[in-house]
Structure 1
Amino acid sequence: MTEAAAIARSSGPVTQARLVVDFQRLGVTPGMTLLVHASLSRIGWVCGGAPAVISALLQAVGPEGTIVMPAQSSELSDPSGWCDPPVPESWWETIRATMPPYDPRLTPTRGVGQIAEIFRTWPGVQRSLHPQVSFSAFGPQAADILARQPMEDPFGAQSPLAALSDRDAQVLMIGTGWETCTALHLAERLAQPDGPTFQDGTCITVEGERRWVRLCLPVTDIERFQPFGATLDGNALLRHGHVGSAPSRLFPLAPAIRMATERWTGSEAA
């Protein structure tokens, strides 16, 4: 969405103060741990842009709260699997040989929106070490949440998602659809711990040297997120509201993961 379109859909500027009130009305409270997915354009014309949204989130949870966002960098993968857009096969070996290694300080996010990208660079924000599907976090629980993320099981029982579940985190979706709900990847892994995998590659630094490494990663299926989300939308666990003009949701991560795991385990068994 263009800035002109955001202005057209807004009844007035969305200020940081209004955002704080909207978060509070939705159920965000001081001390809360939040996994946030957000679309800046869906909020409307925000006075101050993405930094204003981040400042409002930090204000709403206060100094005892923790904010977490996906910080995915899908371009650090094997070019043979790229499809949006693909690159010529004749380029693949050059890309593998020259791709810069993952650097949690410098590697930009891809496909997670302006708010997550600005949050990644926010003073004091920490980032996990997975080269493709990292998370960034700010707050007293950030280091513990990001401490573990296995290279070949980045969404499983030892991941930041599992740490968030253990800490009674809430998921805040601001103008985003269920296909963006990264937390549900944890339910996939719990439902199918020995599920299908695929071969990939990435570039990392090992003992000070750049290395291209091969990975065996779990297959994910976001096509089932929407049907499950439609069920959750009608559950009392989930609160609906608006942040600016953006339809938004707030729900506890752990119960939602239990529900999705039970549903998908049952469907696989059937």
Structure 2
Amino acid sequence: MEKPVALTQAVIEQNLRLLGLERGMAVEVHSSLSRFGRVEGGAATVIAALMNVVGEEGALVMPAFALTLPLPLSDEDKARGILAKVRFLPPDTRERTGMGIIADTFRRCPGVITGPGFHRVCAWGRDAQRHSQGYQYLLDSSGWTLLLGVDIHRCTSMHYAEGKVGLPEEVRAFFDTNKEILRDYPAEQWYVETVTPPEDAWGKIQAEADRRGFIRHRRIGAAECMFFRACDVVGLYEQALRTDPWGLYGIRKREAS
């Protein structure tokens, strides 16, 4: 059987433009290189294509959280209800992170600025310094989000709606780790997921954004890709959190006593 033809930079650029990317755009990017299939030159080729399409008058912003890839779960972990665990890495790590090889490679590119803090991002292009402080500048300036082979669950700018509106106590409880597990996995060293809410809130937002025509779709190689104005979709999430966050997450609202 013949191997699939490797994607070239030119083919990736052509498809990014057909998806809607233009010179001068500021774009938040989340990605999975493996979802493309074979890419000639790997992550560096995808980055070069993105840079060439938006140009230096545009901007690229990617996550730079210092977290490991998801680590294997022991039988004991599973018995305790642990669904996933990742370890925090030093800020200057050169180890592979859970952000993906494209984001890891981008962070080390010349001209890319990495911002401060744990939930940090890195940025290149126009206003890179401002973009490196987080996604708020991109949201405020009607920037865009590009998902390459991943879905909305990788879109970290969605958390900005939570920061603005807040999550009710009943929802937050699903993301709290119990003290017994924290003794073995201290919060300053680990992120551990134990329980998920009954319903997929972010998946619902993606479906509603699709229904409203906010999201453009295109297949690049084997990767299903999405492109949308960031504030449109984050705004949908913010609106849902303001109106009925319990229903969004499938949780019964606790009645006041």
> Which TM-score band applies after superposition, normalised by the shorter structure?
0.7 to 0.9
Listed as ranges, the gaps of 5+ residues in structure 2 are: 78-86, 178-185, 190-195, 248-257
Corresponding residue to 1:52 among 15, 27, 45: 45
Amino acid at match of 1:121: R
Amino acid at match of 1:16: Q
Amino acid at match of 1:31: G
Q: Are the counterparts in 2 of residues 74 and 110 from structure 1 also a CA contact under 8 Å? A: yes
Structure 1 CA distance, aligned partners of 2:59 and 2:150? 20
Corresponding residue to 1:257 among 225, 234, 243: 234
Structure 2 CA distance, aligned partners of 1:109 and 1:193? 31
Structure 2 CA distance, aligned partners of 1:73 and 1:63? 26
SS in 2 for 1:249: strand
Equivalences for residues 3-82 of structure 1 within 5 A: 10=4, 12-74=5-67
Say if 2:125 is the partner of 1:139. yes
Taking only the aligned residue pairs, the percentage that are identical comes to 27
SS in 1 for 2:214: coil
SS in 2 for 1:72: coil
Corresponding residue to 2:212 among 227, 232, 235: 235
- Assess, with a 3 A threshold, how the Cα gap between structure 1 residues 181 and 100 changes in structure 2: closer, same or farther: closer
Structure 2 CA distance, aligned partners of 1:176 and 1:51? 18
- Assess, with a 3 A threshold, how the Cα gap between structure 1 residues 129 and 234 changes in structure 2: closer, same or farther: same
Say if 2:160 is the partner of 1:173. no
Q: Are the counterparts in 2 of residues 166 and 254 from structure 1 also a CA contact under 8 Å? A: yes
SS in 2 for 1:168: coil
- Assess, with a 3 A threshold, how the Cα gap between structure 1 residues 35 and 108 changes in structure 2: closer, same or farther: farther
Equivalences for residues 48-197 of structure 1 within 5 A: 48-74=41-67, 85=73, 102-103=90-91, 105-106=92-93, 108=95, 110-131=97-118, 133-147=119-133, 160-192=134-166, 196=172
Matched pairs, number: 222
SS in 2 for 1:74: coil
- In the alignment, which residue of structure 1 is the partner of 2:223? 246
Amino acid at match of 2:220: V
Q: Which string of whole-angstrom CA distances, capped at 9 and with x for unpartnered residues, describes residues 85-128 of structure 1? A: 47x99xxxxxxxxx99843x445452121111111111111111
Amino acid at match of 1:119: F
Q: Are the counterparts in 1 of residues 66 and 93 from structure 2 also a CA contact under 8 Å? A: no
Structure 2 CA distance, aligned partners of 1:22 and 1:70? 23
Task: Normalising by structure 2, report the TM-score.
Answer: 0.74
Amino acid at match of 1:20: E
SS in 2 for 1:124: coil
SS in 2 for 1:183: helix
Structure 1 CA distance, aligned partners of 2:242 and 2:201? 13
Offset at 1:246? 1.1
Amino acid at match of 2:120: S
Q: Are the counterparts in 2 of residues 36 and 67 from structure 1 also a CA contact under 8 Å? A: yes
Q: Are the counterparts in 2 of residues 171 and 250 from structure 1 also a CA contact under 8 Å? A: yes
SS in 1 for 2:206: helix
Listed as ranges, the gaps of 5+ residues in structure 1 are: 76-81, 90-98, 148-159, 204-219
Structure 2 CA distance, aligned partners of 1:242 and 1:116? 20
SS in 1 for 2:28: strand
More strand by share: 1
Structure 2 CA distance, aligned partners of 1:224 and 1:134? 24
Q: Which string of whole-angstrom CA distances, capped at 9 and with x for unpartnered residues, describes residues 216-263 of structure 1? A: xxxx97941112112212222211112222111110011211111111
Offset at 1:194? 7.4
Amino acid at match of 1:137: A
CA RMSD of aligned residues (A): 3.3
